[in-house]
Structures are given as C-alpha cells and as structure tokens.
C-alpha cells in the first residue's frame, strides 16, 4: 500500500493507453513519454505496460506501507527517500515507512514512478489510464489527492537486481530548444507555400496552455489559401469538413497559435491539421515545458517508421541489460 501525502500538481495513473476506441471518440490517454514509462516498468521487473504514476512539474510525496522495488524515470526531478537523494533510471528498494519526496524540476516536464507489481486500479475499456476530462480510469477518473491510497498489483514478470540502472546513453536528453519531427498533412495543402515554409522555419514557443490534452504554441500567424467554403466546413479558412484528428496532429485555428493534439485530445473535428508529430517524438514532446522552444522538422513517413523502429530497439536493449 502507498499513501499519498501530497499529490503534486497533476499526478495520474497511466499505462500504455486505452487503445482501440478512437473511432468512438475515445482518446487513448496513457503515458505521454512512453519511452520513460516502459523503462520505469522494466526497471522494477514489471510487464512494460503496467500502470505507473505520471507526475507533471511537481512530484508527489508518497509514504510506503510495504517493502517495494520502485523506479523513477523521465525528466530531471531529483527524488529523495527520507530526505536522501536517490538516482533516477535505477531500481530502488524502499521499506515500509519510507517517504519519497522530490526537489524542483530541472529538466524535462514529466516523471514516471513505477512500483513492482504495477498500480492496481479497475480497468476501464481495457486500460488503467486516467482520462480526467471524462472522469474514467485510474483512481476514480481523477488526478491524485492528498490522503489517497494506492495498491500494487500482479504485473511483475521478472526479477531485477536492486540498484540495476539504465545506462546514460539510453536515457533521453533535454533542451530548451527542441527539434520535433513531423509528417506534413493531412491538410497542409490548405496552407500557402510561404506559410508551410514559415511553419517549419521558426522557433515556436510553448505557452502555459500545455497539458495532456494538447500543447499550444506562440509564434507567427500562418495563412491559408482562400477557398470557397465546402459543404460541411466552418466559415474560417482554417476549417475543413470534419475529419479524424491523428494523435500528435497540429491544427492552426484561424491561422494563429498552432495546437498539437496529444493523448487526451478530441479525436476529430473541423480544423485543418497541417502536420503530425511522429510517434517516436511524442515522447520528447511530453517532456517539453511551457516557455521552451520547438522547431518542427519535416520527415517522410518512411523516416517516421524508421524512428519508431529505433525507439523499439532501444527498449529491447534495456530488456537485455536488465535480464
């Protein structure tokens, strides 16, 4: 049993996501940085998709009421057990009565706390992930509150040595200036050539409107090609006839302030999506803070698939190391 002494700013139970219901309008939720999420689970011997805690900017304060193996990955947020610093990206043993706290965040935006056995909450539509906008999944469909109690489950599948760690070269690096790879489309044909170039050539600043639903950016206005309003589309040039929004897709309502839709976002609507963040770079996107910069880099679908393959290979390497 784990007692929540302080919840942090926005700490939720997340797993690999509520996949398979997108066409019903149900976004997947799930960990924003899947690489750090899988890594945390592997470090405690869990199935890589077991439920963990995802905390944004501020870590929770937890009291352990059982002996456990835990691991914390993701952004640089120094964890402490009973006031003594412990390493990130490492299997750490905690004893009954130990208290986990965190310092201020230095780099990145989100951390993942995995407990051996995973977090046990009821599955909703095949997932333990919290989707707060709908109030389902996780712990009562909401972020953690002071006084909550978490139980561990049966998702442990292997033994990992206490102190085992993921080597530096397999950990993500963070920067205030980030390149995020995108595949142009589905509706980039709606932008003028000049605006398409501008979209890919300026540094966009992440606004404070940046959460699990989406990230809003500030930069310069973009222009759409004038057109006759099609049947079923809204009157603004940034509108198209409704379509499904790819996860990671970027829309630019009225040509100002692009929004990247992430794991808790609406699944479809009537804005032209001008580009889509490739799945491997969604991990990086989830670690970018408000006020930091993003430059979008256009890649081909083949390059995106190759990048996804490379992330998969890194996870396999981690499994090898922890064997």
Partner 1 sequence: MSIKKEISSPVPGVFYRRPSPEEDLYCNEGDTVKAGDTIGLVEVMKNFYEIKAEDDGVVETFNVKTDELVDAGQAVAILTLK
Give 206's strand partners: 217
User: What are the b/e assignments for 16-32, b being 16+ CB within 10 Å?
Assistant: bbbeeebeeebbbbbbb
Q: Closest CB to partner 1 among 9 and 221?
A: 9
For the chain, the distance separating the N- and C-terminal CA atoms, rounded to the nearest angstrom, is 27
Residues 279 and 246: beta-carbon distance below 8 Å: no
Please name the residues in contact with 287: beta carbons below 8 A apart, sequence gap of 6 or more.
32, 33, 36, 74, 75, 108, 109, 110, 172, 174
Q: Closest CB to partner 1 among 211 and 279?
A: 211
In angstroms, give the least distance from the CB of 62 to partner 1: 17
Residues 241 and 232: beta-carbon distance below 8 Å: yes
In angstroms, give the least distance from the CB of 245 to partner 1: 20
In angstroms, give the least distance from the CB of 85 to partner 1: 17
What is the C-alpha to C-alpha distance for residues 113 and 53, in angstroms, rounded to an integer? 5
Q: Which of 290, 303, 305, 317 binds partner 1 (CB under 8 A)?
A: 290
What is the C-alpha to C-alpha distance for residues 101 and 81, in angstroms, rounded to an integer? 7
Residue 292 has which token pair? 């930091």
Is residue 53 at the binding interface for partner 1, with CB under 8 A as the rule? no
Q: Closest CB to partner 1 among 171 and 289?
A: 289
Q: Which of 3, 58, 61, 134 binds partner 1 (CB under 8 A)?
A: 58
Residue 222-241 contact track with partner 1, rule CB under 8 A, x = bound: --------------------
In angstroms, give the least distance from the CB of 106 to partner 1: 7
Residue 88-107 contact track with partner 1, rule CB under 8 A, x = bound: ----------------xxx-
Q: Closest CB to partner 1 among 241 and 291?
A: 291
Residues 72 and 41: beta-carbon distance below 8 Å: no
Is residue 266 at the binding interface for partner 1, with CB under 8 A as the rule? no
Q: Binding residues for partner 1, per CB under 8 A? A: 9-10, 56-58, 104-106, 208-211, 289-291
């Amino acid at each position: 049993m784990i007692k929540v002494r302080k919840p942090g700013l926005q700490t939720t139970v997340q797993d690999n996501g509520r996949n398979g219901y997108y066409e019903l309008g149900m976004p997947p939720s799930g960990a924003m940085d899947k690489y750090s999420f899988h890594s945390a689970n592997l470090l405690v011997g869990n199935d890589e998709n077991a439920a963990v805690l995802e905390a944004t900017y501020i870590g929770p304060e937890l009291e352990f009421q059982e002996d456990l193996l835990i691991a914390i990955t993701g952004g640089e947020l120094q964890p402490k057990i009973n006031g003594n610093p412990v390493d990130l990206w490492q299997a750490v043993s905690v004893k009954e009565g130990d208290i986990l706290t965190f310092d201020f965040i230095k780099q990145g935006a989100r951390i993942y706390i995995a407990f051996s056995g995973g977090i046990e909450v009821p599955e909703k539509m095949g997932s333990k992930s919290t989707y707060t906008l709908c109030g389902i999944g996780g712990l009562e469909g909401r972020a953690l509150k002071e006084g909550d109690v978490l139980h561990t489950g049966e998702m442990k599948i292997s033994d990992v040595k206490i102190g085992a760690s993921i080597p530096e070269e397999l950990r993500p690096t963070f920067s205030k200036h980030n390149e995020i790879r995108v595949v142009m489309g589905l509706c980039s044909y709606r932008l003028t050539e000049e605006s398409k170039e501008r979209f890919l050539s300026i540094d966009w600043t992440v606004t404070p409107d940046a959460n699990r639903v989406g990230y809003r950016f500030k930069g310069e206005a973009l222009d759409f090609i004038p057109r006759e309003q099609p049947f079923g589309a809204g009157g603004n040039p940034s509108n198209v006839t409704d379509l499904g929004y790819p996860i990671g897709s970027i829309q630019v309502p009225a040509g100002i302030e692009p929004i990247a839709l992430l794991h808790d976002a609406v699944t479809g609507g009537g804005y032209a999506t001008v580009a889509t963040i490739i799945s491997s770079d969604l991990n990086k996107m989830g670690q970018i803070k408000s006020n930091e910069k993003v430059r979008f880099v256009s890649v081909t679908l083949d390059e995106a698939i190759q990048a996804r393959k490379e992330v998969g290979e890194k996870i396999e390497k981690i499994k090898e190391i922890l064997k």
